[in-house]
Structures are given as structure tokens and as C-alpha cells.
Amino acid sequence: MLSRIARHGPIRFDEVMEAALYDPEAGFYATAGQAGRRGDFLTSAELGPLFGAVLARALDTWWEAAGSPHPFVVVEAGAGSGTLARSVLHAQPRCRDALRYVLVERSARLRAAHADGLPLALPTHAFAATAGSDGEDEPAPAPAPAGPIAVSLDALPPPGTAHVVLANELLDNLPVRLLELAAEGWTEVWVGADGGRLVEILLPAGDVVLALSAEAGARVAWQRHAVQWVSDALEVAERVIAIDYATTTDAMARRPWREWLRTYQGHAVGSDPLADLGTQDITCEVALDQLAVVREPDRVESQADFLRSHGLDGLVADGRAAWEAGAATGGLEAIRGRSRIGEAEALIDASGLGGFSVIQWSGR
């Protein structure tokens, strides 16, 4: 980054964040960055199989609401190494014979892990060329061998090819423009160099129009990449679900910016996004009001409420019964039951994962 700045001058913050996370050679997700207990951060899917089991029940609900289509194409954007997909398929949802589970992941290193334990097939098994009304080929879902099958891609599929697009903790990782209110108006954080280290430079933000009542020095994130992702996802499928930290632009302006723009490295939370580029995760809470510019979400609820509405309590009750029945002998089913109880507690913890927002667009 220092050599790039030396050649071309200061770089806008979102471009620095993009390179730090996604550069194909030195970016966080291209090198060692990963979720999991031994990684840098822990997602709901990495806690264990319960999150995926509940999501499998949600997929069944959405499949039946759509008329039980065959095939049923579900896209998981930001799929990482495929942990959530494995949990969903292991849960054996009712829609499994029709299910075409499309994992979308930018990182070639993480995509390579999709072959481990997933029934990978060629993209043509989920999408095929059909003659469009204009005589040209248009991609569309096509029948394929009995499911479930999984497909691994590096980008969202074409418009109109899926029934559901899901993103679990993706939007917080999309680059943001970082703005600060000065006496003369909005300025923007660019990144320069001083004595061999990266430093902030504030420059006028001429293309920014934000109607906020904020004090000088307040900072907000302008999340154009997240907004564009929502727009693109709604072209791919009518039902889009994003699970993430959520806030509003006004709330950002009232808080210290290092509270909503965070870093993670080896499970340690940091607050300097310019430190250790490429070796730490950079995340930003998602401003709901900015996403609503594309289209107002049909539903926003806590992760805890979402999971309960799709059968979490029943699965936990089954786990508790298995634990109580086998606790004396410590059998495998009993141990799994006890683990399920612990997973559920973490998934619905209002001060942690349970406080995440599930943002849903469910059709026009």
C-alpha cells in the first residue's frame, strides 16, 4: 500500500479496505483470514450445526411458500469455506431433492474448501441456457439430477436465476467510504503516507449529499458497496436475507466511529483499520436506512426472534431430551444434545449473535 501511495498519491479509504480484505495475493481473505474457533472471528455457523439446522427449516418454509419449485435455487453469498452449507445439507431439509445450493465466494483459497464434504456439481446442473424471447440464450434454473447438489461460484449468478439469496455476515465486510463532518461540510477520509506509515488525510467530499443533523467531527460510513449488493441480489432473486450487525446513519454519527468500524485478528477486537493491512478483518455495522434506498425491507428482526420463528426451540427441546436421557452414560447423542443447548444460548444472546439483525426482502 505504501508503494502504491508513493506512485499514485493518497487512496480513498474504501479502496484501502477493498485491498486489505480482498486483494488476490495479499488480502485478508486470500491469505490466512478465516472464521472459526481457531480463526479470527466466530460466526453463527461456526458455533456448530444448529444454526444451519434452523436455516434448513427456514428454507423449507420459503420453498413451500414459492410453490415447492423443482429445482429450488438458493444462493449463499460470502459462503467462506462452506461451513453453513454443510450444516444445512446435513440437516436434510424437506426441499433437499429440489435443492441447488449455490456457494458464492470471492476468495479462491476459501472456494477450494468447498470440495470438502459438499456434493459439488457443475454450474450447468443449477443453471442452463434457454432460448430467450429475443432469440438469445438467457441463463435460467434447469432440472438436474436429484438433489441436493452444491455449486461453487466466485460471483452472484445472473438475474432471475435463484429463489433465495442469503448473506450471513457479508455486508459488514463490504468496503465503505468514511466521511467526517467539518465546519464547511462533509469531508472524506483518504489514506496517505508519513514516515513509512499509513495516515488519514481529510479531503472535501464533493459528491456526498447526506441530510444529517450532526456535530462537527462526527463520522459516518457511506455504504455504497452494500447498497449495490442489495440491488444486485434483488435482481437475482425476489427473496433476499441479510444477517448482520445493523444500525442507522444517524446512530453512527452520534457514536465514536471506532465502535461501529472494527477489526478482528485472532478473536481480538481492534479499532485501527490501517494497522496490519491484510492480516486483520475489517468490519462496519450496516446502516439500514442506506439499504432501504434500494427498497424498504419487508421485515427486520433480531436473529434470536428469527431463529425461534423457524423452530429453534423445538430443536433445543430435542437436544435437552437427548442429554437428559443419556447424561448418565455420556453417549454421543447425549453429548450432541448438550452441545445444542450451549449453541442455542450463544445464538440468541442479545448482547452477541442474538442481537444481529435479520433483514428480509420477501418479494414484490
**294/313 same-domain check:** no
pLDDT for res 351: 86
- Give the chain's domain count: 2
**88/231 same-domain check:** yes
Site of grid cell 420459503: 62
pLDDT for res 287: 98
**76/163 same-domain check:** yes
**83/168 same-domain check:** yes
Chain centroid to CA 186: 29
33 vs 69 pLDDT, higher one:
69
d(CA 103, CA 112): 11
Lowest pLDDT segment from 20-29, 50-59, 210-219, 287-296: 210-219
Helix H segments across the chain?
Answer: 2-8, 13-22, 44-47, 50-65, 83-90, 108-112, 224-236, 249-254, 257-260, 288-291, 303-309, 312-326, 332-347
Does any domain span residue 352?
Answer: no
Q: Tell me the pLDDT tens digit for each residue of 287-338.
A: 999 999 999 999 999 999 999 999 998 888 876 776 666 665 666 666 666 6
Does any domain span residue 248?
Answer: yes
**291/335 same-domain check:** no
Q: State the Cα angle at 49 between 45 and 51, rounded to 5°.
A: 55
**111/76 same-domain check:** yes
End-to-end CA separation in angstroms for the chain: 44
Domain around 338 = 306-347
| CATH label of the domain that carries residue 69 | 3.40.50.12710
Does any domain span residue 197?
Answer: no
DSSP string, 288-342: HHHHTTT---SEEEEHHHHHHHTTHHHHHHHHHHHHHHHTTTT-HHHHHHHHHHH
> Regarding beta strands 164-168 and 177-182, do their DSSP bridges make them parallel or antiparallel, or are they unpaired?
unpaired
d(CA 55, CA 52): 5
Q: Tell me the pLDDT tens digit for each residue of 154-213.
A: 999 999 999 999 999 999 999 999 999 998 889 999 999 998 899 999 999 987 777 788
**236/331 same-domain check:** no
pLDDT for res 62: 98
pLDDT for res 363: 74
Cis peptide preceding 71, ω within 30 of 0: yes
**232/340 same-domain check:** no
Does any domain span residue 112?
Answer: yes
21 vs 145 pLDDT, higher one:
21
Q: Does the CA dihedral 289-294-299-302 come out positive or negative?
A: negative
Q: Does the CA dihedral 59-65-71-74 come out positive or negative?
A: negative
**Residue 353, pLDDT above cutoff 60:** yes
Does any domain span residue 209?
Answer: no
Q: Tell me the pLDDT tens digit for each residue of 94-132.
A: 999 999 999 999 999 999 999 999 999 998 888 744 333
* Nearest residue to 117 via CA among 145, 153, 81: 81
Mean pLDDT (the chain) is 88
**137/244 same-domain check:** yes
* Nearest residue to 344 via CA among 362, 327, 309, 319: 319
341: left (phi over 0), alpha (psi -120 to 50) or beta: alpha
**56/127 same-domain check:** yes
> Regarding beta strands 164-168 and 72-77, do their DSSP bridges make them parallel or antiparallel, or are they unpaired?
parallel
d(CA 146, CA 96): 8
**343/297 same-domain check:** no
